[in-house]
Structures are given as C-alpha cells and as structure tokens.
Structure 1
Amino acid sequence: MKRLVILGGGESGVGTAILGKKKGYEVFVSDKGKIKDNYIKVLEHFEIDWEDEQHTESKILNADLVMKSPGIPDKVPLVVKLKEKGIPVISEIEFASKYTNATIIGITGSNGKTTTTMLTNHLLKNAGLSVGMAGNIGDSYAKMVAENNFDYYVLEISSFQLDGIVDFKPHIAILTNISPDHLDRYDYKYENYIASKFRIAENQTEDDYLIYDADDKDLNDWLSKHPVKSKLLPFSIEKEMGEGAYSTNENIQITINNDTLKMTTESLALEGKHNLKNTMAASTAAKLIGIRKETIRQSVANFQGAEHRLEKVLKIHHVEYINDSKATNVNATYYALESMKTPTVWIVGGVDKGNDYMSLMPFVREKVKAIICLGKDNSKIIDAFGNVVDLLVETYAMDEAIKVAYKIAERGDTVLLSPACASFDLFNNYEDRGNQFKAAVKNL
C-alpha cells in the first residue's frame, strides 16, 4: 500500500486525505500548528491517522508521495529533506486532477481571480451544467473529486499551488493579470513569480486554451519570450482583437472561430474597468464551452460579486460604505480607487508587504478627500500621502475608524475600506477585517 503524507491539516489537506483514503493510500496528516476541531472530527470519521503541533520526521520521510499545503514554503527544512530523498512533493490540484475526467477551467493572476472564478462558475451553473468551484475558494477540490462526479471544475489557483504541479493541465486557463506580490516566496525576483503563474499553461497542448490580459505588458513580454502550445485568446480594453475579446466604452465583443458575441457594458452587474476584464475573461471561457449567447448575457447581468471585494454594505445619510477588505495589495486597491465615482474617505493600512504606494497617487489626488489609517504602523502611508490629502487620521481599531469616517463623510461621499495591506496586525484575516467593518457600519 502506498503511503501518502499530507503536510497541513486545513481545507486542502483534509480534502486530500479523504480522496487519498478513498483511492487506497495509507494516509497520514501532519500539521505543525493546531488542527481545527471540525477538521479533526472529519479525519477521525474517515479513520485517518493525524498529528498536530509537530512534524514527526520518522512518520513523514517514509512517504511515497507528499501533498504540501500551499502555505508551506519550499525552503522549509522538512520539504528540502523530502526532495533530497527523491519523494515527490505535490499540491492538492496535482493530486486531485489525476482522479477526475472533468473539463477543468483554471484561473490564476495577481488580482481578479476570485471574481473571475465566481463569475465563470455562475455562467456554467446558469447554463445548467454540472460544475464544482474549488481551489483557493470555498471547499477543497480533492474532497469534491472524492464525493462528486462533476463534468466541469472551475478552479481558482494560486502561484503556490502551481509550484507543486507535475502533469496538471486545465483545458481552459485564464491569466487575469500580473503584479508583484508574494515576492518573499520567490527570492524577491519578479520573473520567478511570473514563471510560476505561467505554469498554468506549461502542460497545455494545442487543443487547450489560454485566455489572458493583452493589456498587461509583463504578460505580453513573457509570452513573446516563452511561447505556449495552447491557443491564445487575449482580452483587451485598449485595442481591437480579431480572436478573443475587446471592449469599447459601450460594448464587449468576443470572437472565437468567426462567431461573435456582443454585450453592452451597461448591462454588467460589476462596476469598474478591472471587472470589465474579469467579465470578458469569464465570458470567453463560457463561450468556448458552447454556452448560449443569451445565457451569457443574462448571467453577467445578474451576478452578485465576491464578499469583501468592492462589496456595497449600506447607504447612511446618502453616504455609501464599501467593503474591499480583500484588497491586500496595492494593485487591488488601485482597481478600487479607479472605480470610485464620488469623493472618497479611504480607510487603508495593515501589514505592509513592501508596498510602493506611488501608483495610487493620481487617484488619491483626484478622488480621496481624507485618509483614515488603520494599522499598528502607519508611517509609510503618512509619508506617502500626508502632504496630498487635507485630512489624515490614525486609528487602531475598526470601530474607531468607522466613527471617524462617519464624522468626515458628507452627503454624496463614499467611505471605502481598501487596505492595500495584509490584516494580521489587528485582525485574524481579511474576512475578519471585512466583517468587523460591516458590523461597525451597521452599528452607526
């Protein structure tokens, strides 16, 4: 019996354990931290051997195969030892894909991947297809493969998950965009991070498709030097595309094999230029699968966006409160500020991942009337914008930040939480930060 060792007892780890057990592996789950009670119950229900708060090397280094949680870097001594012994260390998507014949749509990119994944799933569901949505979002992909027999999977895939693939290939890959993020995991080399994202296409053949942002210089440069085998379907809001998608101010046009779908941009449920791109990417995938034009038009018109991503919370005294807590990097906040149409009170700050705020300067000058810092150390934000806005206030708790915003904001303004930073200084995670924002707004 082959031994499958799983490092990390979270969603992907436990899901992989269930699938591994079902496929006849001897399974062992090991987590250096504490495994949550609900996951322990699942492991015990399936009679899967586990440990937490330690890695017992004698039980790990005898594996035939190791599935590593995406949160564990490759440089960890235990992972290095495994690789030196020639034991394959793979990701959940690599493991689970071996056990399904479903058509896979894989979505990666620095920003926009969650929205694009949710919208693609929405398009397929509305068309009546049998589809599972997994990966970086929602339930474990491996668990879905163990328990369902879907015809399609829509997977949100991070670069960390792509680092652990060998044979994985989606039939349709979407690369939303690329911007420097997580560089600490890539020796601070941007090209290593770009290479990692492009692994989504490395096993594709000429029968597969790569949908990508043709306006992204880094993507274009990389593709010109490292061609892929798959058929390219670019999308653009800057130039006309023969094959692929492009948009003018009023319309979106998607052409595949001389068949064109047209939609008005006015009918889209999601606002902002970045969401125009997300919509083009998802709709191109839907059209490739053969979903009817009318179904695509209806689906993009009635889609509800992702929670904590430009999520409209409430209007109080004609002031709109928007929760964009999922904006954990500068690029995500760039899109948020770009889509603001009214004077904005911007709540920003948290754990800075070496942020460069300069790209936000034009939007801050044009749209932001006040900045509320929300973090333990706000010095970089103060240095960047202290002289640009009339009012900058430091706060150290969400309630406090919302009370200040309520005092500053006037009729017709927007209060935007778009932190551009990770949340771990004051919150458990970005969801906790977003939920506290919503609760504080509702308490006004």
Structure 2
Amino acid sequence: MKNRLVVLGGGESGVGTAILGKNKGFEVFVSDFGKIKDTYKQVLIHHEIEWEEGGHTEAKILSATTVMKSPGIPETAPIVKKLKEAGVRVISEIEFASAYTEATIVGITGSNGKTTTATLTYELLKQGGLSVALGGNIGKSFAEQVSESTLEAQETGEEKYKNFVLELSSFQLDGIETFAPHIALLLNLSPDHLDRYDYKYENYIASKFRIAMNQTEDDYFIYDADDVEIAKWLEKNPVKSHKLPFSVTKELKEGAYIKNNEIIITIQNTNLAMPIASLGIKGQHNQKNAMAASTVAHLLKIRKATIRECLESFQGVEHRLEKVLKINNVVYINDSKATNVNATFYALDSMETPTVWIVGGVDKGNNYSELLALVNEKVKAIVCLGVDNQKILNAFGNIVDKMVETQSMEQAIKAAYRLAERGDTVLLSPACASFDLFENYEDRGRQFKEAVRHL
C-alpha cells in the first residue's frame, strides 16, 4: 500500500510539497477549494500529479495517510475538522520537508522583521561561501528546494544545499510536530493574526515559541532581550537550547548589544564589533535585525570582514520602507509589508518630515491606540485604502484633520498627491492584510510603485 499524501492548497508551498512527495514515492493528490494559478497547474501537469480546484472531494482527501495543509487555510475549515476527527495526520510544509534534508536549518520567526532578517542572514552566509538556500514564507518553497537538494544527493552523494534559512510564520509553526531548527530566531512579539487565535494574544505567542519546542542543548535560540513578552514567556517556559539574546538597551555577557555606537557580538569568548553608522539599513528595529543575522553568521563561522562588508552593503528588502521616487520634492515610500500595527509603528517612528499616511485593508483584530502619539506627531493627513475603513476613521478622526477614503491604489495615490506639499513624505504602511483589494502585500506594493510612477 503506497503512502498517500494529500496537499490542501495549490499555491507555492502546496505545489512544492507535492513535487517533494512525488519524488519520495508518495501517491500525491492536490486539492484547492479555490482556483489554482495557471503557472502552478502547468507544474502539476508536468510532474503528472493529480489535482482538483473549486472544491474538495472528501473521499479522496479522507483516504490520506498524511495531509499537508497550506498556511492560509485555518484550522476551522470544515475539511480540516473532518480530517482531525478521522485521526489523519495534518502537518505543514515545513514539517513535511524538514524530514528529508540533513542540512543545517536556521528558522526565523517574529511579528516583524522576518523577511529583512532572513534575507540578510542568507546574504551573510552566501557571501561567506556557504551553500545556502532561502525559503519558508519567502521566495521559492522550502519543500521544492529540498526536492532539488535530495535529487542532487542521489546523483552526487551530496545535497545541493548544506544550509537553509527559513522565514517562518506562526501558521507554518502551528503545523509542526518534530521540526527543530539548529538555530532558531524569535525577533519580537506584537499582536498579529489574532483573528486566527481566538483573539487571544497568548495563543499567538505560544505559536511563535513552537520554533524552539523540539530544540536540544546542542541548538541555539536567538531572541530579543528587550521584548517584555518574550522575557515573560521564557520565565515560565524554559527552552532547552543555548540562549543568545540581543539588546539595544543593556550590555550582555553573551549575545549582541550596543556600546559606544557599535554593535558588539560575543559568543564563547570571541568578539565582533561594528559601528552602527556603517549599517546599510537604518532605524533601531534594523539594528536589531542586523544583530540577529550577524549572530547566526558568527555561529556558522563566517569571517568578521565578510560580516562587516555585507552589513554595509545590504539595503533592505522590497516593500519594506522602500524609497520609490521623489516627485515635486515629495518622497514616496512603499512599506506594503507592514501588515500589522507594530510594523507600521516602526515606519511612522522613522519618518522625519510631515507624512501623508496611506493605511487600511483587512483588519486582523488591530489595536490602533499604540499609534496615536506617533500619528499626532508625524501625520498631517490619512488616506484610507480598504473596503471597510470605519475602525481607522474612529481611531484617528479626532487627531488628524484631513482623512480621505479610497477604494483603489490609483485613487489613494491621487489623493495623497493632492494632500502632500513640498518636503512631505507619502508613506504606504497599511497595518493590515491586503486581501480585500489585492492578491497579497507584494501585489499591493507593486501597484503602489506603478501608480506613483504614473503621477
């Protein structure tokens, strides 16, 4: 009897898992409740993998030995409930794929900064000469890259990638059982995706800490020592791995901290120091991202000179405080990746000129109160961009004189253009998910850049 793998969701992680499953001898079936993109259909057809879209055939799904659920599908989906009741194993792509690689895994999670830190870590390891791939919640799926890596191992006896840097969302971590990264990073915690966690912050925090649950004494856990919620959790729930904190407020015996405007990293009596001023990415949150990534590089024995050069040249990632254009002396900044309040807090905090702020989308249980002081100080006008903007209007109506509602990116940019004067900044930092008007945050960011270029 062949092992039967059913994949729920025909997107990047689903199709990658299907390819890996097929290569490992599973009988594979992909089922998507919605539509599968043509590019993914072609891949499934090429690999001769059976698929369906526009609904689930229950008999075919319930006969699975293992089900990989794509991260976007909630636990409350009827088909997932039926699988759980039937006692079928339901896991994430990360759990499925990690079983098939011997590579060193660096897993990065947190409410904010994951993409920047994962990309920077990947660059540090690549420039340091390691064979490394970047995956998870970013770029090409982890499972498909494991498939490539193991196929090469069959031919040459060596895996294509010796290291994986994975950006991990809480949804991906919810579906793990044995997954244990050798190096785990928890960058920070702030309320996010609470709609998927019964609106309980503690459920979301527990989900993030799953990244360390299977680690042993031989593994490493890198975390923000300034984060109150992380400290509270660690007091009650000790982790087995070797802890390496980073901080911008206190000196640490071991880990990374700031002293005399230098980042200092100390691990097992070896030191690395680098001036903050020479970092390619600006802002205190990016100092933390740089500390976390450099700690990984230091652990994996990347040369100090390489680490310094890489930190100086790294300019950040697309859709994260990305300067797009300057028109009539107004700077347009794309921060579409800010899908929660905390990310937008960092963005507003880094503004140095009067700001026209474009905000809105699908609210995930946001609490806007922590932005009030910053909005009062920095924001001259708000452009709402969402199907339902009531919560934003209620939160900021009393402190910002000019508020405009728009329903498309083109409308939003035209409104912002009218409101902005010479020396101002127009900032897209939505604090919300994008699914009401856009495919995803990348689509939203690209539409922003397109609309700005057409002004």
TM-score, scaled relative to structure 1: 0.97
What is the DSSP-based 3-state SS (H/G/I as helix, E as strand, rest coil) of the residue aligned with 2:383?
strand
Question: Could you tell me how far apart the structure 1 residues matched to 2:386 and 2:392 are?
Answer: 10
The equivalent residue for 1:391 is: 402
- Of stretches 369-378 and 155-164 in structure 1, the one that deviates more from structure 2 is 369-378
Q: Are 1:404 and 2:415 an aligned pair?
A: yes
1:83 deviates by 2.2
The equivalent residue for 2:12 is: 11
CA-to-partner distance for each residue in 1:127-146, whole Å, 9 max, x for gaps?
12111100000011111011
Question: Could you tell me how far apart the structure 2 residues matched to 1:44 and 1:406 are?
Answer: 46
CA-to-partner distance for each residue in 1:67-117, whole Å, 9 max, x for gaps?
111111222232222223322111111111111100000001111111111
CA-to-partner distance for each residue in 1:126-174, whole Å, 9 max, x for gaps?
1121111000000111110111220100001111111111111000000
The equivalent residue for 2:91 is: 90
Q: Check whether the contact 2:192–2:365 (CA below 8 A) recurs between aligned residues.
A: no
Counterpart among 423, 428, 433 of residue 439 in structure 2: 428
The equivalent residue for 2:132 is: 131
CA-to-partner distance for each residue in 1:218-264, whole Å, 9 max, x for gaps?
11000010000000111111111111111247211111011111111
Cα gap change, 1:46/1:376 in structure 2, threshold over 3 Å: closer, same or farther? closer
Question: Could you tell me how far apart the structure 1 residues matched to 2:259 and 2:418 are?
Answer: 39
Q: What one-letter code is carried by the residue in structure 1 that aligns with 2:386?
A: G
1:365 deviates by 1.7
Q: Check whether the contact 2:355–2:380 (CA below 8 A) recurs between aligned residues.
A: yes
The equivalent residue for 2:146 is: 145
The equivalent residue for 1:168 is: 179
Q: What one-letter code is carried by the residue in structure 2 that aligns with 1:139?
A: K
What is the DSSP-based 3-state SS (H/G/I as helix, E as strand, rest coil) of the residue aligned with 2:377?
helix
Structure 1 runs of 4+ aligned residues shifted over 3 Å read: none
The equivalent residue for 2:357 is: 346
5 Å-filtered alignment, 1:11-410, equals 11-148=12-149, 149-248=160-259, 250-410=261-421
User: Where do 5+ consecutive residues of structure 2 fail to align?
Assistant: 150-159
Q: What one-letter code is carried by the residue in structure 1 that aligns with 2:32?
A: D
What is the DSSP-based 3-state SS (H/G/I as helix, E as strand, rest coil) of the residue aligned with 1:5?
strand
Q: Check whether the contact 1:123–1:286 (CA below 8 A) recurs between aligned residues.
A: yes
What is the DSSP-based 3-state SS (H/G/I as helix, E as strand, rest coil) of the residue aligned with 1:142?
helix
Q: What one-letter code is carried by the residue in structure 1 that aligns with 2:105?
A: I
The equivalent residue for 2:153 is: none
Question: Could you tell me how far apart the structure 2 residues matched to 1:294 and 1:138 are?
Answer: 28
What is the DSSP-based 3-state SS (H/G/I as helix, E as strand, rest coil) of the residue aligned with 1:66?
strand
1:425 deviates by 2.7
Question: Could you tell me how far apart the structure 1 residues matched to 2:357 and 2:73 are?
Answer: 33
What is the DSSP-based 3-state SS (H/G/I as helix, E as strand, rest coil) of the residue aligned with 1:94?
helix
User: Where do 5+ consecutive residues of structure 1 fail to align?
Assistant: none
What is the DSSP-based 3-state SS (H/G/I as helix, E as strand, rest coil) of the residue aligned with 2:318?
coil
Question: Could you tell me how far apart the structure 2 residues matched to 1:404 and 1:184 are?
Answer: 31
1:328 deviates by 1.3
What is the DSSP-based 3-state SS (H/G/I as helix, E as strand, rest coil) of the residue aligned with 1:173?
strand
- Of stretches 143-152 and 431-440 in structure 1, the one that deviates more from structure 2 is 431-440
Q: What one-letter code is carried by the residue in structure 2 that aligns with 1:128?
A: G
Cα gap change, 1:92/1:386 in structure 2, threshold over 3 Å: closer, same or farther? same
- Of stretches 368-377 and 357-366 in structure 1, the one that deviates more from structure 2 is 368-377
CA-to-partner distance for each residue in 1:264-295, whole Å, 9 max, x for gaps?
11111111111111111111111110101110
Q: Check whether the contact 1:249–1:265 (CA below 8 A) recurs between aligned residues.
A: no
What is the DSSP-based 3-state SS (H/G/I as helix, E as strand, rest coil) of the residue aligned with 2:356?
strand
Q: What one-letter code is carried by the residue in structure 1 that aligns with 2:421?
A: E
Q: What one-letter code is carried by the residue in structure 2 that aligns with 1:206?
A: E
What is the DSSP-based 3-state SS (H/G/I as helix, E as strand, rest coil) of the residue aligned with 2:222?
strand
1:431 deviates by 1.7
Q: Check whether the contact 2:220–2:242 (CA below 8 A) recurs between aligned residues.
A: yes
TM-score, scaled relative to structure 2: 0.95
Cα gap change, 1:105/1:364 in structure 2, threshold over 3 Å: closer, same or farther? same
Q: Check whether the contact 2:195–2:365 (CA below 8 A) recurs between aligned residues.
A: no
Q: What one-letter code is carried by the residue in structure 2 that aligns with 1:188?
A: Y
What is the DSSP-based 3-state SS (H/G/I as helix, E as strand, rest coil) of the residue aligned with 2:51?
strand
Question: Could you tell me how far apart the structure 2 residues matched to 1:67 and 1:427 are?
Answer: 26
Q: Check whether the contact 1:346–1:371 (CA below 8 A) recurs between aligned residues.
A: yes
Cα gap change, 1:21/1:278 in structure 2, threshold over 3 Å: closer, same or farther? same
1:27 deviates by 1.1
Q: Check whether the contact 1:33–1:53 (CA below 8 A) recurs between aligned residues.
A: yes
Question: Could you tell me how far apart the structure 2 residues matched to 1:314 and 1:369 are?
Answer: 20
Q: Are 1:443 and 2:432 an aligned pair?
A: no
What is the DSSP-based 3-state SS (H/G/I as helix, E as strand, rest coil) of the residue aligned with 1:393?
strand
Q: Aligned pairs, how many?
A: 444
Percent identical residues: 70
- Of stretches 409-418 and 330-339 in structure 1, the one that deviates more from structure 2 is 409-418
1:33 deviates by 1.2
What is the DSSP-based 3-state SS (H/G/I as helix, E as strand, rest coil) of the residue aligned with 1:132?
strand
Question: Could you tell me how far apart the structure 2 residues matched to 1:86 and 1:351 are?
Answer: 33
